Chains A and B, each alone.
Chain A
Amino acid sequence: MKIGKNGGLLRRFQEAVKALEIPEELTGEPTVTLEGSRSARIEGHRGIIRYEDDEIEVAAKGCVIRLCGKRLRLAVMDRDDIRIVGSLSSVEYARGDRK
């Protein structure tokens, strides 16, 4: 299938999701929930790319989520959720899916 058609199908799918007001969690989109600057919860992840004390990179559908801060650690990690605790300073989205 041509990339163009795939891109068109994807765009139409996204438009349909938006029109029907379907929750994004059900469509596989990642969800980041911040609790102040102490804790972050990522739903719909696809694994850890990098884990440092001051930076954690998490793979998600269509993007890479980078969390920066101090004394970061993974509190809980299961199939769908990751909970990161520490002193968060920034959350970045980088386009591009890492599998």
Chain B
Amino acid sequence: MSRSVSDRLRGSLKIRIEGPGAEAFLGKCVRRGVVLHDIRRVSDGGYTAWAAAGDYRYLLRAGRISGCTVRIVEKRGVPFSVRRLARRWALWAGAIICALFVVFLSGRIWTIRVEGCRDTTQTEILELMRQAGLKTGAKRSSISRSSVKNYVILNCDKLSYFTLNFVGTNAVAHVWEREDTPDKLREDVPCDVISDLSGVVLALRVRTGNAEVKVGDTVTAGTAIASGTVVSALGKTTLLHASAEAVLRTWYTVRAAVPGEIRTVSPTERMNVSQSLVFGARRIPLQSIENVEETWYDKNVRRRTLRLREDFRFPIALESEITHPCETAGEAVNATDLSAALEQRMLLRLRAAKPDAEITGYTFSVERSADGAWLGVLRAELIETTGISVPIG
């Protein structure tokens, strides 16, 4: 394998030797250090052999001396290929231009991705990054990651942390959003503890201060559970930092409404495919655009990019948009199915609204209103913990 590779790189010739002194020719060649491969006899006094292209002069001289004719039958190798291609200047120019194009493209950012958004939007973060200098087509070496990071964090109050990494021609930004936490009072600030819920006290735990309610009492939002004002037997008033919590049985109601008539959407057999070339942030449609009004349709978008490695993708993608027009029809609602679906949906809403509460039981009912809509009501009994510190005065 290595010999064939070196022969290809240096170039080799297949020669035909004819004459009465062919054997002497072979001896003369090898004595001069020429290596011959695959020597074959082709006719009386004639041979073919492979030799390195650089030994051609020795071969001619040896042929003259031994009285043989030496002719080149075949040429193989890089030097001959390059010579054939050397005249094709347009090919070389195109190869150089392509290489420069690839080098130019690979030094720029073509894809920007934002991850971790919940309350903030990707558009918001992308706009901030664009203001900081990071946009599609920007030169990667001219972008300072730390300055982009500082600009985004300082100009977006919803973020607690932001990272930016460059992976090839991709920029990947990850955001961590700020979570609101209640201000905690200092231990030396006198305060009372109040309830922020309405319900019946099931359990009470007072660590510091005087209890203002007992088990079984009904409390509303704002009712004091524990007081930080302590009056001693001698009448002396002391203000403390009260610490307490109460476990309440509470009730929560979820209401929802669904239209009386629903429309079903069923896809037709028709299918429209449109393709476009996406280059960075630009989209070039590959066919004429038809504006056909379709009220209902399903759309699938498929994007194909050429990727050499995991971290290197060419900034050109072929996007295919497959649209399936649909037909709609009105259908009466099945009460049983609607009831079951609505109950599940409302339970999910309840759990989202009260994530820390324990649901001990619930009732669910569905009734039809005068205008035909379906009204669902879910009443749940919960167990929750409450206790908010409020400074005295």
Q: Which residues of A contact B (CB under 8 A)?
A: 46-53, 59, 73-79
A59 to B, closest residue via Cβ: B27
In the complex, the answer to whether B23 meets A49 with C-beta atoms within 8 Å is yes
Chain B contact residues (Cβ within 8 angstroms of A): what range?
10 to 19
Whether A78 touches B30, Cβ cut-off 8 Å, given contacts A52-B41, A73-B40, is yes
- Chain B stretch 344-389: residues in CB contact (< 8 A) with chain A: none
Top 9 A-B residue pairs of the complex, sorted by shortest distance between their CB atoms: A47-B27, A74-B39, A78-B35, A48-B23, A77-B36, A48-B26, A79-B30, A73-B40, A77-B30
- Chain B stretch 4-42: residues in CB contact (< 8 A) with chain A: 22-24, 26-27, 29-31, 33-41
Q: Which residues of B contact A53 (CB under 8 A)?
A: 41
Question: What are 19 A-B pairs with beta-carbon distances under 8 A?
Answer: A47-B27, A47-B31, A48-B27, A51-B39, A52-B41, A73-B39, A73-B40, A74-B39, A74-B40, A75-B37, A76-B36, A76-B37, A77-B30, A77-B35, A77-B37, A77-B49, A78-B30, A78-B34, A79-B33
The answer to whether the Cβ of B110 comes within 8 Å of any Cβ in the partner chain is: no
CA distance A76 to B3 in the complex (A): 12
In the complex, the answer to whether B23 meets A76 with C-beta atoms within 8 Å is no
Q: Which residues of B contact A76 (CB under 8 A)?
A: 35-38
| 1/0 contact string of B35-61 vs chain A (CB within 8 Å) | 111111100000101000000000000
B22 to A, closest residue via Cβ: A51
Q: Which residues of B contact A78 (CB under 8 A)?
A: 30, 33-36
Q: Which residues of A contact B23 (CB under 8 A)?
A: 47-51
B34 to A, closest residue via Cβ: A78
B28 to A, closest residue via Cβ: A47
Q: Which residues of A contact B49 (CB under 8 A)?
A: 74, 77
Whether A77 touches B39, Cβ cut-off 8 Å, given contacts A47-B23, A47-B24, A48-B27, is yes
CA distance A81 to B225 in the complex (A): 106
A80 to B, closest residue via Cβ: B30
Q: How far is the CB of B162 from chain A (nearest CB, A)?
A: 67
In the complex, the answer to whether A46 meets B39 with C-beta atoms within 8 Å is no
Q: How far is the CB of A66 from chain B (nearest CB, A)?
A: 14
CA distance A49 to B27 in the complex (A): 9
A48 to B, closest residue via Cβ: B23
